[in-house]
A and B are shown apart, each in its own frame.
Chain A
Amino acid sequence: MEKKFILNGTDIVVKDFKQSAQSLTFNYEGKTYCFDLVTKEDHVVILDDSQKFKATVGSANKDGESIVMVKGREAKISYAGQRIKKHKTHAGGLTSPMPGKIFKILKELGSEVKKGEPILILEAMKMEHSICSDKDGKVKKISYKVGELVQSGVTLAEVE
């Protein structure tokens, strides 16, 4: 059986996927991997292939993605079928990369902006982040006032 995963945004296809309660085998990039489950508790999965090692797995987020750490390396991984398409804002919407406070608004409504030009500044964790226009155009909408708190992923401004 073929099974698809998404790792850090890239599709990963494995072949001959077989899983039981205690073991898992699949072929990835021409090599067959066999893992036995040794034990599992509180985000930590101990696996055994030729040697024992530890995988630490976070809870899945709303998009079905979990953080997995193996040998110190971390990646975001999900089942390809499960991943829900991320809610895309309509064209021209500039979204907040993280929760924060509107620190400063640099452009007035209707003013001309160039691609890459900052429209407003978001303050989060004692640092300032410029929210820049993604194209040449006019500022159509600024959704918040200076000092307002915003959540991650909300539309801060629109350019058309």
Chain B
Amino acid sequence: MKIKKILVANRGEIALRVLKTAKEMGIKVVTVYAEDDKALPHALFADESYSLGLGALSETYLNKNKLIEIAKKSQVDAIHPGYGFLSENADFARLVESSGFIFIGPTAESIVLMGDKIGSKNALEKIKIPMIPGYHGDDQSVENLAKKSKEIGFPVLIKASAGGGGKGMRIVHKEAELTEAIRGAKSEALKAFSNDKVLIEKYVVNPRHIEVQLMSDTHGNHLHFFERECSIQRRYQKIVEETPAPQMSQELRLKICETAVQISSGINYRGAGTIEFILAPDGHYYFLEMNTRLQVEHPVTEMVTGYDLVKFQIFVAQGDKLSVKQSEIMQKGQAIECRIYAEDPDNDFMPSIGKIEKIGVPTLRDVRLDCGFLDGTEVGVNYDPMLAKLIVWGENREVAISKSIQSLDEVLFLGVKTNRDYLKRILGHKKFIAGQTHTHFIPDNKEDLAPKELAPAEIAAMIAGLCFNEQKPQSFQDKPGSVTNPWLELVGFRNV
């Protein structure tokens, strides 16, 4: 069945991302918006757009029944969940399909399997996927957990089974800290996820976060689109991603990618997915988790492979065979994504809000700004503070870094404090340039990443900018001797 109309059950840049590909394919797009989002471009630029009302997320973007109602009313064929929100919600995937729509994503079974950290590890151990040494068992007594920790060997990581975002997580370096850490992790896990089950894993020092983009159809074809390096993180969230991963041998790259495909074929996966791995400095890599959706950082893969992943998602969802062979997929050049957040990195990454007076536009070649805002729109407190993603392609890594730094200068979000300057400091750091990235890069290089003082010439120019801006345009035009604009004098002139 050909998909002719899609409902995008999301907001902001990812809703626009899906919309762009759908338009290219001649597919009609329906979007939804919470009332406080009604001025945002995802609400404005679709073929149809419907209000989800105002209120808590459970009433708006997470309101499954309201979304299905809108899908019925607007007579769409399929629903794309984007990322976040309901994208990894198995109940929603089931509801979409039982209501007669195509879910542009994996089966509910795959979502359930991969959403459970312990369940997924048990399933993957059977198909010999490298797992980080650990204990994922049901005997949750403090005594047993302590015993298992000692068997694994310190340092160990204790984390919530149902967790995410660093909640219920503890690193333990020696036996004396163990009991207290287990108790603390359990109580945090219980509070955050109503489930105090924890798992214990070997803690890898200076690990890298490497993930592999997968795409599978319903005809037994399981492809990978190579890896992404996503080690630069703050508050356990990625802020800089790139591909190919620097400082990685071609041999290791192919091995990791093939391991990822073993997983997608092993669980008979459908659609776009990502396998996240931890890569130890010694070249050993371990399965971390699978994300059963399109990732925020998918554009870097698109930039180096030249394929549109959303297009493949739609083809797969309507039952088509993937039209490319693994051997045809190549990495060309280097792509880097910087996530632009409304936050103050020099003040503990405190989120910021406000009205965006003007958004700067990147001007260099092969630069993409995926942005969910327009000039004059507001950044509020109700949603994630990511404003946009700057994705830059260069023929090699050096060029991609240099173009990214220049482009970050251009993409100002006037009126809202952003991490733009901070991203420039990361990209300009000698260790980043050398490809020496790991997940503690930000805390380990805190001093180097502090803001640099403004040069006197920059301060002088800022003063000049302020002083000239203060003048009203009127006085500027009316002053004797000012140049008059000849075009304004052309009364009765018309275009022919």
Residues of A participating in the B interface, judged by any CB pair closer than 8 Å:
5, 7, 12, 14, 19, 21-22, 24, 26, 28-29, 31, 33, 35, 37, 40, 42-45, 47, 49, 53, 55-59, 66-75, 77-79, 97-101, 124-127, 129
10 residue pairs bridging A and B, Cβ less than 8 Å apart: A19-B467, A31-B457, A43-B414, A55-B469, A68-B465, A69-B414, A73-B458, A74-B421, A97-B350, A127-B235
Task: State whether A21 touches B350 (Cβ < 8 A).
Answer: no
Chain A residues lying within 8 Å of B461, measured Cβ to Cβ, are: 33, 35, 47, 49, 53, 55, 70-71
Chain A residues lying within 8 Å of B457, measured Cβ to Cβ, are: 31, 33
Interface centre among B382, B466, B476 (most CB of A within 10 A): B466
Task: State whether B381 touches A98 (Cβ < 8 A).
Answer: yes
In the complex, whether B479 has a CB less than 8 A from a CB of chain A is: yes
Contact A31 B469, CB 8 Å, known A56-B360, A129-B350: no
A-facing residues in B414-440 (Cβ within 8 Å)? 414-415, 420-421, 424
Task: State whether A37 touches B468 (Cβ < 8 A).
Answer: yes
Chain A residues lying within 8 Å of B475, measured Cβ to Cβ, are: 21
Docked pose: A28 CA to B459 CA in angstroms: 9
Chain A residues lying within 8 Å of B464, measured Cβ to Cβ, are: 24, 33, 35, 45, 47, 55
Chain B residues lying within 8 Å of A69, measured Cβ to Cβ, are: 412, 414
Task: State whether B471 touches A125 (Cβ < 8 A).
Answer: no
**What number of A-B contacts does a CB cutoff of 8 Å give?**
145
Docked pose: A148 CA to B460 CA in angstroms: 45
B424 CB to nearest A CB, Å: 7
Contact A43 B358, CB 8 Å, known A125-B381, A125-B384: yes
Contact A77 B462, CB 8 Å, known A22-B479, A67-B415, A126-B384: yes
Chain B residues lying within 8 Å of A33, measured Cβ to Cβ, are: 457, 460-461, 464
Task: State whether B383 touches A125 (Cβ < 8 A).
Answer: yes
Task: State whether B462 touches A68 (Cβ < 8 A).
Answer: yes
Who on chain A is nearest to B471 by CB? A21
Contact A58 B456, CB 8 Å, known A19-B467, A21-B482: no
Docked pose: A111 CA to B73 CA in angstroms: 55
Interface residue tally of chain B, by bracket?
35 or more
Chain A residues lying within 8 Å of B465, measured Cβ to Cβ, are: 45, 47, 55-57, 68, 70
Pairs A-B, 3 closest by C-beta atoms: A55-B465, A72-B409, A57-B469
Docked pose: A97 CA to B465 CA in angstroms: 29
Chain B residues lying within 8 Å of A125, measured Cβ to Cβ, are: 342, 351, 353, 381-385
Contact A22 B469, CB 8 Å, known A28-B456, A28-B463, A125-B384: no
Contact A56 B412, CB 8 Å, known A28-B459, A43-B357, A73-B458: yes
Who on chain B is nearest to A128 by CB? B167
Who on chain B is nearest to A35 by CB? B464
Beyond the given A33-B461, A73-B458, A74-B420, please list 17 additional residue pairs across the A-B interface where CB-CB is below 8 A: A14-B463, A24-B468, A28-B456, A28-B463, A31-B457, A35-B460, A35-B461, A35-B468, A40-B469, A58-B357, A59-B415, A68-B462, A70-B462, A71-B458, A71-B461, A77-B466, A99-B381
Docked pose: A115 CA to B235 CA in angstroms: 25
Task: State whether A72 touches B471 (Cβ < 8 A).
Answer: no
In the complex, whether B352 has a CB less than 8 A from a CB of chain A is: yes
Task: State whether A40 touches B468 (Cβ < 8 A).
Answer: yes
Contact A56 B421, CB 8 Å, known A21-B476, A21-B479, A98-B351: no
Chain B residues lying within 8 Å of A99, measured Cβ to Cβ, are: 353, 381
In the complex, whether B408 has a CB less than 8 A from a CB of chain A is: yes
Interface centre among A47, A101, A124 (most CB of B within 10 A): A124
Chain A residues lying within 8 Å of B420, measured Cβ to Cβ, are: 72, 74
Task: State whether A42 touches B358 (Cβ < 8 A).
Answer: yes
In the complex, whether B454 has a CB less than 8 A from a CB of chain A is: yes
Docked pose: A74 CA to B462 CA in angstroms: 9
Docked pose: A129 CA to B360 CA in angstroms: 30
Chain A residues lying within 8 Å of B466, measured Cβ to Cβ, are: 5, 57, 66, 68, 77-79
Task: State whether B462 touches A55 (Cβ < 8 A).
Answer: yes
A17 CB to nearest B CB, Å: 9
Docked pose: A98 CA to B351 CA in angstroms: 8
In the complex, whether B473 has a CB less than 8 A from a CB of chain A is: yes
Docked pose: A38 CA to B412 CA in angstroms: 21
Docked pose: A56 CA to B358 CA in angstroms: 9
Docked pose: A55 CA to B235 CA in angstroms: 33
Docked pose: A55 CA to B463 CA in angstroms: 10
Who on chain A is nearest to B358 by CB? A43
A-facing residues in B351-365 (Cβ within 8 Å)? 351-353, 357-358, 360
Docked pose: A124 CA to B352 CA in angstroms: 9
